Amino acid sequence: VNGPRDSGKPREDKLLGGLLTEEFDEGSCLSRYQSSLYRKPSLYQPSHYLVSKLRSYEMLHKRCGPGTEAFKRAAEQLGHDPRSAGECRYIVWVAAYGLGNRILSLVSAFLYALLTERVLLVDQRTDITHLFCEPFPGTSWLLPLDSPLMGQLDSSRCYGTMVKTHAINSTIRTTPSYLSLYLMHDYEDHDKMFFCERDQNLIRQVSWLVFNSNMYSVPSLWMIPSFQTELIKLFPKKDTVFHHLGRYLLHPTNQVWGLITRFYNAYLSRADETLGVQVRVLTNPAGYLEHVMNQILECTKREKLLPEVAATNNTSTSPKLKAVLVTSLYPEYSEKLRNMYWESPSSTGEMVQVHQPSQEMYQQTDEKLHDQKAFAEMYLLSLTDKLVTSGLSTFGYVAQGLGGLKAWILYRPTNHSTPDPPCVKAVSMEPCFHRPPPLYGCQAETVNSSTRFVTRCEEWITGIKLV
């Protein structure tokens, strides 16, 4: 069936198998209940346990969220005696790097909040309110701008640094009321102690955590023994963490939903098949590079994702329509592809249309419309039937995960040449954790049982991902 499908659908579908609550008013966030009209039903059902965990999280957030008595008490307690801590504990997510990075760290922070019964709040000083609807009913996830924590969101009181300088130890007397975690790509060994059971026991006692990260740290949460049991129950199918939590958490605002639906209805809805191609050039210089273009052509040819061009017409009586959605900062990749299928017929007789929503030329993170377009494009890619992404790009990981797709990943070119093979099919739809702590670190004893959850990333062998 083409196009937005009939809205008289069974309720489970609109609520994504129970992932979403019915409590919201539809109009305030159209995407929340309309996504199922655009996305094919997921092949993966959330577990009952995950669904019930999400419902209890929502209750916790209502009880502890901004505006509640409990919140006021917890905020007052900041900087005071941690032993007077109330019943609510928090984790505040801070935006870092591009939107793909932000989304991956946000989902990681949310899973951590679920596992540790903390309330997830977000720093609203970036354009988050223009991108995502409120995910939790009857409350807000925005850290109030007048919160006393607002001035502390940098990396002061950094856990890793405190461990390094012995400013923190396991006695409650020295436990501070807030701590910031530094889980950025350039973090050091002491910061990595976050992933140790022993350190988790200490961190658990702190009421306020600030989460500074630009990575998808979920795979290493599976290595922490006390989390592992719970994670297995939440996600019996391990590689669905981002797929479920992303679709639960990330609902485009009405403005972004307009960008998505107008583009989808105009260019993708009538196609018999859609292919997404995400082109991210992470080398310097970036821009249009011949060897990257060749890599895309080589990959789509070898993997039979696009028909080859032929010398003579293939007179098919009812040719199929294939729509290709190209996303890139640069216009040339889609222009070349479009010309190719205009100048020559396709060998299969298929009609190939090529579309690119925007050509922003360079990254402009924190520009409202730029970020909205970036989110719209990740989302549009996630609606395609098949997907090609650029290796190492978190932008591509988000599209793949939301869509429940296993993408063909373009290897990162080295020496200005087209890699051979040009691409590899993802082993799972999970994002890659680019810089995990060493596997044989603090939980060497559990590592043998843990390694079956993760594998090396297809395009980045020092990274790990859930399978």
Residues that bind ligand GDP (CB under 6 A): 97-101, 280, 327-329, 358, 360, 363, 365, 370, 373-374, 377, 393-395
Shortest Cβ 328–ligand GDP spacing (Å): 5
Smallest separation (angstroms) from ligand GDP to the CB of 362: 8
Of 329 and 407, nearer to ligand GDP (C-beta) is 329
Contact 464, 456 (CB under 8 A): yes
Least separation in angstroms between CB 159 and ligand GDP: 24
Closer to ligand GDP by CB, 89 or 434: give it: 434
Closest to ligand GDP by CB, 17 vs 357, is 357
Whether 461 and 427 have beta carbons less than 8 Å apart is answered as no
Nearer to ligand GDP, 101 or 177 (CB): 101
Comparing C-alpha atoms, which of 221, 229, 168, 228 is closest to residue 196? 221
Q: Which residues, including other chains, have CB under 8 Å from residue 52's CB and lie 6 or more apart?
A: none
Q: Which CB, 13 or 332, lies closer to ligand GDP?
A: 332
CA–CA gap between residue 212 and residue 158 (Å, rounded): 10
Shortest Cβ distance from residue 437 to ligand GDP (Å)?
Answer: 21
- In this structure, are strands 386-390 and 351-355 parallel, antiparallel, or unpaired? unpaired
Q: In whole angstroms, how far apart are CA 186 and each of 182, 190, 215?
A: 9, 12, 11
Cα–Cα dist 316/336, whole Å: 25
Q: Which two tokens stand for residue 456?
A: 């090396």
Per the structure block, which two tokens stand in for 325?
């959605």
Rounded to a whole number of angstroms, the minimum distance from the CB of residue 395 to ligand GDP is 4
- C-alpha 300/C-alpha 129 separation (Å) is 37
- Residue 181: which residues within 8 A CB-CB, separation 6 or more? 158, 159, 160, 191, 194, 203, 209, 210, 211, 212, 213
Say if residues 208 and 92 touch (Cβ distance below 8 Å).
yes
Question: Which helix (H) or strand (E) covers residue 273, if one does?
Answer: strand 273-279
| Chain position whose Cβ is nearest to ligand GDP | 98
Query: Closer to ligand GDP at the Cβ: 18 or 419?
Result: 419
Smallest gap from residue 116 Cβ to ligand GDP (A): 26
Q: Which helix (H) or strand (E) holds 99?
A: helix 99-116
Q: How far apart are CA 122 and CA 141, in angstroms?
A: 6
- Closest distance between ligand GDP and the C-beta of residue 397, in Å? 8
Calpha distance 334→114 (Å, rounded)? 41
Q: C-alpha distances in angstroms, 281 versus 231, 311, 363, 412?
A: 35, 32, 11, 9
Nearer to ligand GDP, 168 or 374 (CB): 374
Nearer to ligand GDP, 118 or 373 (CB): 373
Q: Closer CB to ligand GDP, residue 331 or residue 441?
A: 331
Q: How far is the CB of 321 from ligand GDP (least distance, A)?
A: 23
Residue 132 or 453 with smaller CB distance to ligand GDP: 132
CB of 181 to ligand GDP, least distance (A): 19
Buried b (16+ CB within 10 A) or exposed e, 295-319: bbbbbbeebebbbeeeeeeeeeeeb
**Nearer Cβ to ligand GDP, position 77 or 334?**
334
Q: What 3-state DSSP class applies to 102?
A: helix
Closest approach, Cβ 393 to ligand GDP, in A, equals 3
Residue 62 Cβ, how far from ligand GDP at the closest point, in Å? 31
Q: Fill in the amino acid letter for 75.
A: A
